Amino acid sequence: MNDAEVTRAPFDPAVLFKAAFLVVVAIFVLVPLLATLLGGFKSLGELRVNPFGLPRHWEWQNYADILFSGRYWQLLRNSLVISTLTVTLTLIVASMAAFTFAHVRFFGSSMLLSYLTLGLLFPAATAVLPLFIKVRDLGLLDTYFGVALPQVAFSLAMSVLLLRRFFKDIPHELLEAALVDGCSYIKFFRYVTLPLSRPILATVGTITFVNSWNAYLLPLVMLNTDALYPWPLGIMIYQGEYSSEWHLILAFITLTILPTIILFLLAQKHIVAGLTAGAVKG
């Protein structure tokens, strides 16, 4: 807005107030994160007397023990498997449905679309008990798919809406011309729609991945075996085992949120655009 005003007067009290406000909020956000990172480098005794500052003695051992423990890597691998399954299936299933809703006219099309968007209205938690019984009856309890399939189902509504909106912008004339040239709907989908839709596929993929990577409730209900636990479950168990050895827990937290933060720093624009656009347009 008023850029000129901001740059003109370096000692404008309003600017000073604004800077102070931003600094306070930045500290509010940063301090818990930094204290977690640094806490992992301290001994328990030092953490008690000096939770804020830099460690007087850097205990690399806390981090090293976790990194060489296999447990950490197993949690990350499980999370990666579940998230990859969820993202891949969501993209395939949702883009096929979205393509049909965008380009094929058929009786009941809009009715079926509103049926799918019912999924936006309530959280997965409302029906998690019957969902548990369903997954159990299907024999999928305690498997990766038992977590991934319900996650796909719950991400469909938003994904189909976002993809359909984008697919609709691909000119219909293009499809008609292709059909006349003997191209099938399916080939058109595979060779025209999908390659043209990389940005929206990336957006939908990002939303689905972040949700699945961070998910807690569904894995908690569906999985019983430690060896299959994704990291949010694993870290809760770790915290239970080391209940007040906060230096180890903080190191573990730091290492488990590290992949998210690295991904965020690498693809921040994409992630911000994806998560806010997803929310707004969904």
Partner 1 sequence: MARRIAIASPINVAGEAASHVASRGPSWDGRFTVLILFLPPALLLFTLFVVLPIGEAAWYSGFNWNGFGRPTRWIGFDNYRFVLETRAFWLALRNNGLIVAVSLAVQLPLALTLALMLAEKFRGAVALRMLFFMPYILAEIATGLIFSFVYDGDYGLVASIWRVFGAEPPHLLASTDTAMLAVLIVIVWKYFGFHMMLFIAALQSLDKSLIEAARIDGATRSQSLRHVVIPLLYPTIRLSVFFAIVGSLQLFDLVMPLTRGGPADSSNTMVSFLYNNGISRMRVGYGSAIGVILFVICVTFAFTYKRWFMRDE
- Does 5 help bind partner 1 (rule: CB under 8 A)? yes
Q: What angle do CA 269, 272, 274 make, to 5 degrees?
A: 100
Of 41, 63, 154, 166, which one interacts with partner 1 (CB under 8 A)?
154
- Does 153 help bind partner 1 (rule: CB under 8 A)? yes
- Does 36 help bind partner 1 (rule: CB under 8 A)? yes
- Does 11 help bind partner 1 (rule: CB under 8 A)? no
Least distance from C-beta 216 to partner 1, angstroms? 4
- Does 223 help bind partner 1 (rule: CB under 8 A)? no
Of 80, 81, 96, 202, which one interacts with partner 1 (CB under 8 A)?
96
- Does 174 help bind partner 1 (rule: CB under 8 A)? yes
- Does 161 help bind partner 1 (rule: CB under 8 A)? no
CA 273 to chain centre: 13
- Does 8 help bind partner 1 (rule: CB under 8 A)? no
Of 166, 167, 229, 246, which one interacts with partner 1 (CB under 8 A)?
246
Q: Which is nearer to partner 1, 64 or 279 (CB)?
A: 279
- Does 104 help bind partner 1 (rule: CB under 8 A)? yes
Of 82, 85, 152, 200, which one interacts with partner 1 (CB under 8 A)?
152
Least distance from C-beta 237 to partner 1, angstroms? 11
Of 8, 12, 51, 198, which one interacts with partner 1 (CB under 8 A)?
51
Residue range at the interface with partner 1 (CB under 8 A); choices 60-68, 69-77, 197-205, 244-252 = 244-252
Span 177-206, contacts to partner 1 by CB under 8 A: 177-181, 183-189, 191-192, 195
Span 66-95, contacts to partner 1 by CB under 8 A: 92-94
Q: DSSP secondary structure string, the chain?
A: --HHHHHH-TT-HHHHHHHHHHHHHHHHHHHHHHHHHHHTTS-HHHHHH-SSS--SS--HHHHHHHHTSSHHHHHHHHHHHHHHHHHHHHHHHHHHHHHHHHH---TTHHHHHHHHHGGGSS-GGGGHHHHHHHHHHTT-TTSHHHHHHHHHHHHHHHHHHHHHHHHHTS-HHHHHHHHHTT--HHHHIIIIIHHHTHHHHHHHHHHHHHHHHH--HHHHHH---GGG--HHHHHHHHHHHTTT-HHHHHHHHHHHHHHHHHHHHHSHHHHHHHHHHHHHH-
